[in-house]
Amino acid sequence: MYKRFWLALLALALLSPLGLIADGTAWGEWDGKELQSSLGFVPEGIEHFSQWQQALFPDYTVSIGRMALSQAAGYVFSAVVGSVLIYAISMLITKFMLRHKNKTVINE
């Protein structure tokens, strides 16, 4: 029933590098370097907290070992990996809720 939607999502994932054409950073999402050059200093809190956690694929860039994917390939890879994870977690969470619901019904 949802086959058409799956194809649409796949198309979005494959077309995602179009999102790289827009050059620049979203407002308020600059890293320390960008702030240093625009402000002349990096606020202490940003310096302190911005790097405390290193993401697996920071900013949708992918490098495994010494091999780094091109920006576009990394973006598509991230789109697919992210989609699979989000789909799986959403399914798990909602299935868990429904299992709960069924239990309640049985108990009644």
Partner 1 sequence: MHIPDGYLSPSTCAVLGAVMAPVWYRASYKLKYTLDAARVPLLAMGAVFSFLIMLFNVPIPDGTTAHAVGASLLAIVLGPWAAVIALSVALFIQALVFGDGGILAFGANTFNMAFIAPFAGYYTYALLGKGAKPGAKRQLTAAFAAGYISINIAALAAALEFGCQPLLFTAADGTPLYCPYGFSVTIPAMMLAHLTVAGLVEGFITLIALKCIIHAEIPLGLEKTDKEEIQDV
Residues 34-53 that bind partner 1 (CB under 8 A): 35, 39, 41, 43-50, 52-53
Q: Which helix (H) or strand (E) holds 63?
A: strand 63-64
Interacting residues with partner 1 between 46 and 105 (CB under 8 A): 46-50, 52-60, 75, 78-79, 81-83, 85-87, 89-91, 93-95, 97-98, 100-101, 104
Smaller CB separation from partner 1, 13 or 69? 13
Look-up of token digits 């494959």: 14
Give the C-alpha separation, 80 to 62, whole Å. 12
